[in-house]
Amino acid sequence: MKFIVGSKNPTKVNAVKEIFHHEVVVGLDVPSNVSAQPFSDEETMHGAINRAKQCAASEENCFGIGLEGGVMYVDDQLYLCNWGALVSPDGTVYTASGARVVLPKEIELELKQGVELGGIMDRFAKRKGVSKKEGAIGIFTNDLLSRSEMFAQVMTLLKGQLEYSRNNEKCSG
Ligand SMILES: O=P(O)(O)OP(=O)(O)OP(=O)(O)OC[C@H]1O[C@@H](n2cnc3c(O)ncnc32)[C@H](O)[C@@H]1O
Ligand SMILES: [Mg+2]
């Protein structure tokens, strides 16, 4: 079965390949239909769902996957957040969120001025292409957890939910 991921970002495509390693996995650029820099759990989740639905609709009988990064407040502290969505060929939508990490105040201030986190992170970490490699989560965990590993965890949550619902359908059917 083919898995179409709504991004060409290697951290996302590789995470799906790692978890669905027996399947055909391809990246497809589709719009998230939310802000380039989502600013809440809800907006980030909808970005993931929008991407997954477009991927699932792009071909017959395939799975669509959307992975979306964003930021969200808990009280007055800004966190990095991540969401994933999987749409099965029958149109069922599964969602899961990833690990969160606190973002420093100076990054929050730049984000509030409308700058995307990807660009901010490169300047902050004095590295290039952070969003396509270790990610903000890699930088702020001293490279203990990469963006790809975090997305792989989200994919595990989605795969597990898909398997759970298939097993339960069998039991009740
Ligand atoms: O091509 P796409 O799939 O859009 O990949 P992206 O890197 O832009 O990823 P998102 O749209 O999901 O993320 C929204 C913004 O937040 C940035 N971002 C999210 N998580 C990040 C992370 O862990 N490290 C660096 N930037 C991150 C990202 O670069 C974007 O500017
Ligand atoms: Mg983006």
**Is residue 171's pLDDT more than 90?**
no
User: Helix or strand or coil: residue 156?
Assistant: helix
Distances (CA, A) of 131 to 38, 64, 98, 128, 147: 15, 22, 16, 9, 8
Cα 36 to averaged position of ligand 2 atoms, centre (Å):
5
% the chain with pLDDT above 70: 99
Q: Letter for the amino acid at 116?
A: E
* Contact assessment for residue 117 and residue 136, using Cβ atoms and an 8 Å cutoff: yes
Model confidence at 110, pLDDT cuts 50, 70, 90, reads: very high
Backbone angles phi, psi at 86, to 5 degrees: -125, 130
Q: Letter for the amino acid at 87?
A: V
Cα 96 to averaged position of ligand 2 atoms, centre (Å):
18
- How far apart, in whole angstroms, are the C-alpha atoms of residue 54 and residue 128? 30
Cα 121 to averaged position of ligand 2 atoms, centre (Å):
14
Cβ-based neighbours of 130, under 8 Å, separated by 6 or more: 118, 121, 122, 136, 138, 139
Distances (CA, A) of 34 to 20, 110, 130, 131: 27, 19, 22, 18
2-172 has which fold? Maf protein (3.90.950)
Q: Which residues form the pocket of ligand 1, taking CB atoms under 6 Å from any ligand atom? A: 7, 9, 12, 37, 68-69, 80, 116-118, 121, 130-131, 135-137, 147
Q: Whose CA is nearest to atom 10 of ligand 1?
A: 69
Atom of ligand 1 at shortest distance to CA of 80?
20
% the chain with pLDDT above 90: 97
Of the listed ranges 22-36, 93-107, 158-172, the one predicted with least confidence: 158-172
Bridge partners for 93 per DSSP: 87
Atom of ligand 1 at shortest distance to CA of 130?
25
ipTM above 0.90, yes or no: yes
Cα 161 to averaged position of ligand 1 atoms, centre (Å):
25
* Contact assessment for residue 93 and residue 51, using Cβ atoms and an 8 Å cutoff: no
Mean pLDDT calculated for residue range 117-145 = 97
Question: How many CB atoms are closer than 10 A to CB 38?
Answer: 23
Testing ligand 1's pocket by substitution, the residue of 46, 112, 127, 131 carrying the most ligand atoms inside 8 A of its CB is: 131
Model confidence at 57, pLDDT cuts 50, 70, 90, reads: very high
